[in-house]
Amino acid sequence: MAIVKNKAQPDGASIQLPKHIAFIMDGNGRWAKKRLLPRSLGHNEGGKTFKDIVTYCRELGIEYVSFYAFSTENWKRPKEEVNAIMLLFKQYIADARNYFKHEIRFIFLGDKAMFTPDIREDMLALEEDSKHFNKMTVLLAINYGGRDDIVHACKRICSKVQSGEISIDDIDEDRFQNELYTLHSPSVDLLVRTSGEYRISNFLLWQCAYAEFYFTDVLWPDFNRSELDKAISEFSKRSRRFGGV
């Protein structure tokens, strides 16, 4: 059963689509290990899932989709694995241009200073060349950490106070939010984590304050459209109160 926006489901309930879905794409390594393949092949396979899920989210009419591709902690991995992932990023950044016909905007979350100049330039060019698209925004979290995001925002706010642009009393949640890497997107409505781990692993900490969490044992390379349908249908049944009654 494919989900159609706002269409009544067989049980009579109508589907509420999340405005912002965030994915923790986990389980590539275990997918490869199960097949006695190198971990890098798991990442290749995970990349295929990423492409299909971007396309499906666009078809569904999801406005914002975030993907956790590489954390600030993932640099601890063996050099060969990090290098293989960087190579994949380069390919995917080039490939992202194929989505321009679908009017998708791409934004990177995280400090770009850690990347080699060629990757950094490709990232900046992709952001610039897609910035006028407004049908869907894809946020790619690469060298991203939720704590780093918050510290980075604090530094930006402090420098504005120091320069006299704002005063301490001007700082509120909205202003703070506007200094985060996600300034262009609303808070996360639905957070999906694959591979059977029940943790957030330093993903969008501030932005998930009222997110609904959905965990599945499916490994990211095996995740697909019908698995996403299940997550959205579960989200649709949740009662979100945001502290109210």
Among 26, 122, 148, 189, the active-site one is 26
Residues linked to residue 71 through DSSP beta bridges, in sequence order: 144
The answer to whether 26 is a known catalytic residue is yes
Residues 6+ apart with CB under 8 A from 33: 39, 42
Amino acid at the residue 65: V
Quote the least distance from Cβ 164 to Mg ion, whole Å. 45
Site string for ligand IPE, 168-207 (x = CB under 6 A): ---------------------------x-x-x-x------
Residues in the interface with ligand IPE (CB under 6 A) total 17
Q: Does 74 bind ligand IPE (CB under 6 A)?
A: yes
Residue 24, binding choice from Mg ion, ligand IPE, none, Cβ under 5 to 8 Å by partner class = ligand IPE
Write down the H helix ranges in the chain: 28-34, 39-60, 79-95, 117-130, 146-162, 173-177, 225-237
Neighbour-count burial for 172-194, b at 16+ CB within 10 Å, e otherwise? eeeeebebbbbeebebbbbbbbb
Among 52, 74, 202, 222, the active-site one is 74
Residues 6+ apart with CB under 8 A from 51: 95
Q: 211: which 2 tokens?
A: 């997110």
Residue in the shown chain whose Cβ atom is closest to Mg ion: 26
What order do you get walking across the sheet with 136-144 strand by strand? 104-109, 136-144, 64-71, 20-24, 190-193, 212-215
Site string for Mg ion, 3-42 (x = CB under 5 A): -----------------------x----------------
Q: Does 24 bind ligand IPE (CB under 6 A)?
A: yes
Q: Does 69 bind ligand IPE (CB under 6 A)?
A: yes
Q: Is 84 helix (H, G, I), strand (E, B) or coil?
A: helix
Residue span binding ligand IPE (CB under 6 A) among the ranges 3-11, 20-28, 171-179, 236-244: 20-28
The answer to whether 74 is a known catalytic residue is yes
Q: Is 197 helix (H, G, I), strand (E, B) or coil?
A: coil
Residue ranges binding Mg ion (CB under 5 A) = 26
| Enzyme catalytic residues | 26, 74
Residue ranges binding ligand IPE (CB under 6 A) = 24-30, 68-71, 74, 85, 195, 197, 199, 201
